[in-house]
Amino acid sequence: MPVHADYRPAPVFFDLGPDFADAVEAARFPKADLRFRNQRAAAEVGLDGLSEAEWIAAFGRFEPLPGQPGPLAMRYHGHQFRHYNPDLGDGRGFLAAQMWETPQATAARRGARPRLLDLGTKGSGQTPWSRGGDGRLTLKGGVREVLAAAMLEALGVPTSRAFSLIETGEALERGDEPSPTRSAVLARLSHSHIRFGTFQRAAYLGRVDQIEALIEHVRSLYHPQVAAGDAPGLLRAVVEASARLTARWIAAGFVHGVLNTDNLNVTGESFDYGPWRFLPSYQPGFTAAYFDQTGLYAFARQPEAVFWNLTQLAGCLKLVAEVEPLTDALNGFGPAYIRELRAAFLMRFGVLSLGEAADQRLVDTALALLREGGEGLRWEPLFFDWFGGFASAARALSGPRAKLYQGEAFDAFRFALMAHEPDRIERLEHPMFAAREPEEMLIDEVEAIWAAIDAADDWAPFRAKLARLEAARLAWAFTA
Active site residues: 262
**Measured distance CA(271)–CA(288) in Å, rounded:** 15
**DSSP for residue 75:** P
Q: Is 135 marked as binding a ligand?
A: yes
Residue 361 marked as a ligand binder: no
For ligand AMP, the binding residue among 44, 48, 90, 167 (CB under 6 A) is 90
Residue 446 Cβ vs ligand AMP, minimum distance, rounded to whole Å? 18
Q: Is the peptide bond before 224 cis (omega within 30 degrees of 0)?
A: no
Which residue in the set 106, 130, 181, 353 belongs to the binding site for ligand AMP (CB under 6 A)? Answer: 130
130 binds, among ligand AMP, Mg ion, none (CB under 5 to 8 A by kind): ligand AMP
DSSP letter at 159 equals B
Q: How far is the CB of 168 from ligand AMP (least distance, A)?
A: 13
Options 32, 45, 88, 264; binder of ligand AMP; rule CB under 6 A: 88
The SS3 call for residue 265 is strand
Which element (helix H / strand E) includes 8? strand 8-9
| Number of residues near ligand AMP (by CB under 6 A) | 16
Judged by CB under 6 A, the stretch of 132-140, 207-215, 396-404, 444-452 that binds ligand AMP is 132-140
Does position 114 bind ligand AMP by CB under 6 A? no
Rg (CA), the chain: 22
Stretch (H or E) spanning 476? helix 460-476
For residue 444, which of 458, 425, 465 has the smallest C-alpha distance? 465
Q: Is 195 in the site for ligand AMP (CB under 6 A)?
A: no
Residues 233-262 that bind ligand AMP (CB under 6 A): 258, 262
295 binds ligand AMP (CB under 6 A): no
DSSP-derived secondary structure letter, 225: T
The answer to whether the CB of 220 falls within 8 A of the CB of 244 is no
Single-letter code of the amino acid located at 27:
A
348 assigned to a ligand binding site: no
Nearest in space to 419 (alpha carbons), one of 341, 350, 351, 370: 351
Please give the residue ranges that form the binding site for Mg ion (CB under 5 A).
263, 272
Torsion region of 100: left, alpha or beta (phi above 0 gives left; psi -120 to 50 gives alpha): beta
CB of 452 to ligand AMP, least distance (A): 25
**Is 92 one of the annotated binding-site residues?**
yes
Cα atoms found within 13 Å of the Cα of residue 82, Cβ hemisphere only? 10
Q: Which stretch binds ligand AMP (CB under 6 A): 130-138, 213-221, 244-252, 378-386?
A: 130-138
Are 269 and 245 in contact by the 8 Å Cβ rule? The answer is yes
**Residue 133 interface partner, choices ligand AMP, Mg ion, none, CB cut-off 5-8 Å depending on type:** ligand AMP
Residue 134 contact partner, candidates ligand AMP, Mg ion, none, CB within 5 to 8 A by sort of partner: ligand AMP
Going 356 to 360 to 361 to 366, the CA torsion angle's sign is positive
Residue 110 annotated as part of some ligand binding site: no
Annotation-wise, does 35 bind a ligand? Answer: no
Exactly one of 79, 92, 144, 223 binds ligand AMP (CB under 6 A); that residue is 92
295 annotated among ligand-binding-site residues: no
d(C-alpha 41, C-alpha 46), whole Å: 9
Pick what 91 binds: ligand AMP, Mg ion, none; C-beta below 5 to 8 Å, kind-dependent: ligand AMP
Q: 261-280 mask for ligand AMP (x: CB under 6 A)?
A: -xx--------x-x------
Q: Closest CB to ligand AMP among 73 and 363?
A: 73
Q: How far is the CB of 133 from ligand AMP (least distance, A)?
A: 2
Q: Is 201 exposed, middle or buried (0-12, 13-18, 19+ CB in 10 A)?
A: buried
Residue 133 as a binder of ligand AMP (CB under 6 A): the answer is yes
Neighbours of 295 (CB within 10 A): 14
The reply on whether position 91 binds ligand AMP by CB under 6 A is yes
Among 120, 135, 158, 232, binds ligand AMP (CB under 6 A): 135
**Cα gap 15→9, rounded to integer Å:** 13
What is the phi-psi region of residue 410: left when phi exceeds 0, alpha when psi lies from -120 to 50, beta otherwise? alpha
Say which entry of ligand AMP, Mg ion, none residue 92 contacts (CB below 5 to 8 A, set by partner kind).
Answer: ligand AMP
In the bound state, the residue with its beta carbon closest to ligand AMP is 133
Q: Name residue 334's amino acid.
A: G
Residue whose Cβ sits closest to Mg ion: 272
Give the contacts of 35 (CB within 8 A, at least 6 positions apart): 139, 142, 143, 165, 166, 167, 184, 459
Report how far residue 407's alpha carbon sits from residue 423's, in angstroms, rounded to the nearest whole number: 27
Residues that bind ligand AMP (CB under 6 A): 88-92, 129-130, 133-136, 258, 262-263, 272, 274
**Residues within the annotated binding site for ATP?**
89, 91-92, 122, 134-135, 188, 195, 272
**Residues within the annotated binding site?**
89, 91-92, 122, 134-135, 188, 195, 263, 272
**Residues within the annotated binding site for Mg(2+)?**
263, 272
